[in-house]
Structure 1
Amino acid sequence: MSVDSTVNDMIYIANITLGGTEYRVQLDTGSSDLWIKGPSSPLPNAEQSSITYNLTYGIGWAYGHVSYATAEFAGINVTKQAFLDVASAQNPALTYGTSGILGLGFTSLSTIDALVNQTSQATGRSLLYNLFADNPSEPNYIAFSLQRSNDPEAEVEGTFLVGETDPQYAAVNDTTPIPTFPLVNPNRWNILLDAVIVGSTVVPVTSVVPNAPTNKAVVLLDSGTSYSYAPSDVCQAIYGNIPGAAYDSALGQWSVPCNAEIDVALQFNGQVFPLHPLDVVPTSLTDTKSCVGSFVPQDISNVGAGNFDWIVGDNFLRSVYSVYDFGDFDSSGNMGNPYIKLLPLVDPNEASADFASVRGSVARDNITYNAANSTGSGRTTVSLSDDITDTLNKVSIYFPALIAVMAFNGFVVLLLAGIAIFWLCRRQGGMSLPRTRRTKGRTTPMPLPLESILVNGRDSVHSGGSPRHQYEPVSMALTDDTFVPPSPAFHGYSDGGTLKAGRQLIDRPKSVA
């Protein structure tokens, strides 16, 4: 199906059918609940329960009854889907012409499932969980691209697919999977960020999330967030050296000259993903003649309840083709570990030309990003800058000559020493020449291993444990530049946290090749 519309690149919308009626919803990988505010409540052909709740989001809220109806999404049917039939709401998604939000996250984050779970029932599962359970022939992953409306030359069109990838982005199948964090039983689409690369500068990152590896940051990939929320020092590194750029405390964002091209890339699992410069410095929503920084400085570690350090939103996701895989099922119906695959869609040089044509700047060329040192899965990967690589190449070429010169100098020293000893012996008489050692000492110095010079010790990717599911009625579906702390978390899960969908899933095909 197509992601059929976007409003100022702030929100991405698709269609879902409930009880035979079609509704437009915001696609949100940062939450797991489906809610609809129709012309009236209850919705047509819906079964309304007595359970009520007020869903609290990063911005806004939605209040209504937990209800059930048949559902159809992306051409796939679900016989009974739980959702919140909303009677009243205040949420930015509604101002953009939608009827609600469709959460694309894990059931373990679903508030609706937590509420139904308290009644000892298991009918509150998320839409994607039920979709895969009711349709075992569908591989259990979603894949999408997000279009960029502010670039007239953009070739990326928004698409959303379930169980398949867009043929034009088939190369995503050959990319290295990026594990979630934690590796086992995550409740969000969290992954580990290696570093931020700004031009030729590598900006290191850190984490406050328990058990996170050293020199990594835990980030939530959230299609429901328009911008990205990052630590202040990272935003300073991105925008602080730009002439004319300044942090606007009233706005809560950086104000940046519109013609300032900033080349930024994010590195995940050793892979570098450039952003389009139009997404790093978008035009302001209130004044189209001014521009802002799309990386918003904000400490969200407390808001994220210690589960993530950043929220990475649409300003990054527009630059990649994303696959969110919920994990393959084995012959017993147990779900494997989930993962993400990302295919970079931005050619930095072409993106610079796009930026220049839109903003009236001068296009750049030969833009490259050197990956930071990265450790993952217990294996160290080292990427060297061009200067270091050139130096090492020169050393390898001239090293034999250097050894020859050193050997010749050593020979001359020994020869002079021998002549001096012989002369002394001749003068002192009777003194014999010293005996030669049978085993010569090794005089060539052993260099330190290259990796011990260039690589600091780092922990391998934390494999995580197998905790019970935690339910948290939050969504990071931000469509503005304000952040409100979410409601407290729910806890508990009747089946102890085991993700099973029954024997229906035994013959489910594997996900991405």
Structure 2
Amino acid sequence: MKLSLPLSLTLGAALASAHRVSFKKIKQPRQFQRRGLDSPSDLQTNVLVDSNNNSTFDLNTVHDLIYLANITVAGVDYPVQLDTGSSDLFIKADTTPIPNVNETTISYNLTYAIGWASGHVAYAPVEFVGISVPSQAFLDADKVNNPAIGYGAQGIAGLGFTRLSSIDLVINSTSSSAGRSLLFNLFAANPQEQNFIAFSLQRTLDDDASDTDEVEGTFAIGELEPQYAAIAGNEHIPTWPINNPYRWNLLLDALIVNDSITVPTTKVVGAPSNKAVILMDSGSSYTYAPVDICKAIYGNVPGASYDASLGYWRVPCSAEIDMALQIGGQVFPIHPLDVNPSTAIDHTLCIGSFVPSSFSIGNDFDWLVGDNFLRSVYSVYDFGDFDASGEMGNPYMKLLSIIDADEASADFHKARGGTPRTNITYTGLNGISVAPSFSISTDISESLEMIGKFIPAMLGIVALNALILIVCCIVWLVSFVRKRRLRPTARTPRARMSPMPPVDIRLERGDSDESGMGPMPMNLRNSYIAGSSPGNHTYEPVSMALTEDTFVPPSPAFHGFDRKGLLPGDRPKSVA
């Protein structure tokens, strides 16, 4: 892999890359048709062009529902859905097996949140956004049940981590490491490329029937869009978990609807209880959130109601809902046209794009955040910065708000009628607005994660020390009472003595003075003074302080200072 500097320091190099392409609307015959649609006009096609106006590859958006890009497999182009929520590549070609690929006998069934694809694992050279991979493992699908196929896609390109790849898992069972994910292989084969991807997704207004040349969206590998270069100064948003994650999961701080703030909860084990774990999924059109969250969004909208038969909220098309998400200490507004979009068939029927869902306990995320949020931000998915020694750090995301709330309101009412709102502001927890004023550093986040892992062990050690302390107190108390009882019988009356002349007392054991007196006995109460004898020591408490980048687990309680066990007279160290 390559040596790379942090994203904020490599902005110039990233902008000079050759793998950023922008797309414009091009008027041309419709290529695909969605199943169940009354007219092909419900599908709109976009073609990516470079600075010389030469077509480079297709990036199609189907009524803002899915996003497609061409991928070249064994010399043939296939439109595939761009999906940050998965990590596998499958292709459903016109014929099976696909010509000129290395087909294996390994059969597999890929399962998605919606749909599946089955076939055989195969290998082929792949080119994606102008970058080549000599040999990529993928599923040559012969049977597919997936909505993306109905929108004109011939497969799905998973842009997630190898750890989530099912193909890599099945190939690993054959003692081979040739099943790594598409982006892993792409960056490994091209170490000069910056190892991040970046999205700005297109939005189509409800009344937009024109074919303009306005640039509306980009997808890039290793490069930032110049107009969104400010994202380089935004804080890193660590994944959850921070180390070696499965998915592009982040922690959600709060939901902001108008002037109301809702603090989420989580079912994910180990995650902070006052946050929600959200999966950033470009392969999902809508956002799937808990029932109470969706009620907080739509429940107070006049005329809105939940339709149990559809599983959606029905929302009046004229209702402008101003809302934002606070993620990583930063507030990101959502365009109101994406909160209650109109349907492709009936523009007078609007539904809530935040869909009530309940993910089972044991899942590693609480929300699945889709394109209805991602269209309002410029998003960077970074697989980790490299340090000077070539070690890759933890992955993270960066988000940049790309909408103005007042302009978004104007867009909404241009499409739906009514009067736009002005001076719209969003204030999240701790008074944070759209411009972030503070966010927790990655080091602190790592420390918090480690604390969460060690809390059970720490509590167990504290409880054990408390029990030991109680037992020691009881033993001491019993011993003290027994000594108090024995003293009256052991003591003998001493006769009065007349004053004695001064005597030269020697403190060394075994010496005697000229008068024949033996050595003075040692005072046992002073025998625990540090340095008084080789067998004594200073009692030092164990520090439990943590730094941002170090964490030392507490040592076992019953070790002596020679690490071999307690010596006679020693007390165990306490970690309380």
Q: How does the TM-score come out when normalised to structure 1?
A: 0.72
* Aligned mate of 1:90, from 110, 129, 145: 145
SS in 2 for 1:463: helix
Q: CA deviation at 1:332?
A: 5.3
Q: Is the 8 A contact 2:426 2:433 kept in 1?
A: no
1:319 aligns with 2:376: yes
Alignment partner of 1:340 is 2:397: yes
Task: Check the 8 A contact 2:331/2:432 in 1, yes or no.
Answer: no
Pick which of 316-325 and 279-288 moved more. Answer: 279-288
Q: In the superposition, relative to structure 1, how do residues 332 and 83 fare at CA in structure 2: closer, same or farther (>3 Å)?
A: farther
Supply the distance in 1 between the matched residues of 2:364 and 2:111 (Cα, whole angstroms): 18
Partners of 2:418 and 2:162 lie apart in 1 by 46
Q: Distance in 1 between matches of 2:451 and 2:373?
A: 29
**Residue 463 of structure 1: CA displacement?**
2.8
State the Cα distance separating 1:330 from its structure 2 match. 3.9
Q: Which has the higher contact order (CA 8 A, sep 6+)?
A: 1
SS in 2 for 1:169: helix
Deviations 1:80-119 (A, max 9, x none): 0000001111111111011000000000000000010000
Aligned twin of 1:63: 118
- CA drift at 1:331: 5.2
Distance 1:186 1:228 in 2: 21
The answer to whether residue 228 in structure 2 is matched with residue 242 in structure 1 is: no
Q: Partner amino acid for 1:254?
A: W
Secondary structure at 2:216 match in 1: coil
Checking the alignment, whether the CA contact within 8 Å between 1:256 and 1:281 is kept in structure 2 is yes
Spell out the pairing of 1:101-500 with structure 2 (5 A cutoff).
Answer: 101-150=156-205, 152=208, 157-302=216-361, 305-330=362-387, 333-373=390-430, 383=432, 462-463=448-449
Deviations 1:446-470 (A, max 9, x none): xxxxxxxxxxxxx967436999xxx
Distance 1:61 1:335 in 2: 33
Letter in 2 for 1:171: A
Please state whether the residue corresponding to 1:292 is helix, strand or coil. coil
1:287 deviates by 2.8
Whether the aligned pair in 2 keeps the contact of 1:185 and 1:466 (CA below 8 Å) is: no
Q: Contact conserved, 1:198 with 1:265, CA < 8 A, in 2?
A: yes
Q: Deviations over 1:190-245 (max 9, x none)?
A: 00000000011111111111111131000000000100011111111110111100
Residue identity opposite 1:361 in structure 2: G
Distance in 2 between the 1:354 and 1:87 partners? 44
Partner of residue 42, structure 1: 97
In structure 1, C-alpha distance between the alignment counterparts of 2:451 and 2:160, rounded to whole Å: 20
2 CA distance for matches of 1:384 and 1:70? Answer: 47
1:352·1:363 contact (CA, 8 Å) conserved in 2?
yes
Work out whether residues 331 and 433 of structure 2, in 8 Å CA contact, stay in contact via their aligned partners in 1. Answer: no
Q: Secondary structure at the match of 2:429?
A: coil
**Residues 464 and 282 of structure 1: CA distance in aligned 2, closer, same or farther (over 3 Å):** farther
Tell me which residue corresponds to 1:447: none
Q: What residue number does 1:507 align with? A: none
Contact in 1 for aligned 2:64/2:203 (Cα 8 Å) = yes
By how many angstroms is 1:8 displaced?
Answer: 1.6
Q: Residues 28 and 224 of structure 1 are in contact (CA less than 8 Å); yes or no, is this contact kept in structure 2?
A: yes
Counterpart CA distance in 2 for 1:69 and 1:252 is 41
Equivalent-residue separation in structure 2 for 1:359 and 1:69 (angstroms)? 48
CA contact (8 A) 1:320 1:342 kept: yes
1:376-424 residue CA offsets vs partner (Å, 9 max, x unmatched): xxxxxx5499xxxxxxxxxxxxxxxxxxxxxxxxxxxxxxxxxxxxxxx
More moved, 207-216 vs 272-281: 207-216
**Partner-residue secondary structure (3-state), 1:94:** helix
For 2:391 and 2:91, locate their aligned partners in 1 and report how far apart those are by CA, in whole Å: 31
- Taking only the aligned residue pairs, the percentage that are identical comes to 60
Deviations 1:334-365 (A, max 9, x none): 42100000010110000000000000121000
Q: Could you tell me how far apart the structure 1 residues matched to 2:328 and 2:295 are?
A: 24
CA contact (8 A) 1:184 1:466 kept: no
Aligned to 1:475: none
Give the match for residue 466 of structure 2.
none
AA aligned opposite 1:283: S
The count of residues paired between Structure 1 and Structure 2 equals: 384
Give the CA deviation at 1:328: 1.9
**Residues 184, 464 of structure 1: 8 Å contact kept:** no
1:229–1:311 contact (8 Å) kept in structure 2:
yes
3-state SS of paired residue (1:129): helix
Q: 1: CA distance between counterparts of 2:62 and 2:451? A: 40
In 2, the alpha carbon distance for the partners of 1:109 and 1:464 equals: 23
Segments of 5+ residues of structure 1 without an aligned counterpart are: 374-381, 386-458, 468-513
Shift in alpha-carbon separation, 1:196–1:66, aligned structure 2, 3 A: same
3-state DSSP class of the match of 1:113? helix
Whether the 8 Å CA contact 1:258–1:290 is kept in 2: the answer is yes
Are 1:21 and 2:76 counterparts?
yes
Distance 2:273 2:452 in 1: 21
DSSP-derived class of the 2:107 partner: strand
Deviates more, 1:273-282 or 1:334-343: 334-343
Q: Distance in 1 between matches of 2:196 and 2:445?
A: 26
Distance 1:311 1:34 in 2: 20
* Counterpart for residue 442 of structure 1: none
> 1:250 Cα shift?
0.6
Q: Is this contact kept in 2: 1:282–1:292, CA < 8 A?
A: yes
Query: Which amino acid in structure 1 is aligned with residue 405 of structure 2?
Result: P
Q: Which amino acid aligns with 1:179?
A: P
Deviates further, 188-197 or 164-173:
164-173
Q: Are the counterparts in 2 of residues 230 and 296 from structure 1 also a CA contact under 8 Å?
A: yes
Q: Which amino acid aligns with 1:185?
A: N
State which of 79, 82, 107 in structure 2 corresponds to 1:52. 107
Q: Is the 8 A contact 1:15 1:22 kept in 2?
A: yes
Partners of 2:270 and 2:452 within 8 A in 1: no
Structure 1 residues 498-509: aligned runs within 5 Å = none
CA RMSD, 1 decimal: 2.1
Q: Which runs of 5+ in 2 are unaligned?
A: 1-20, 24-58, 435-443, 454-576
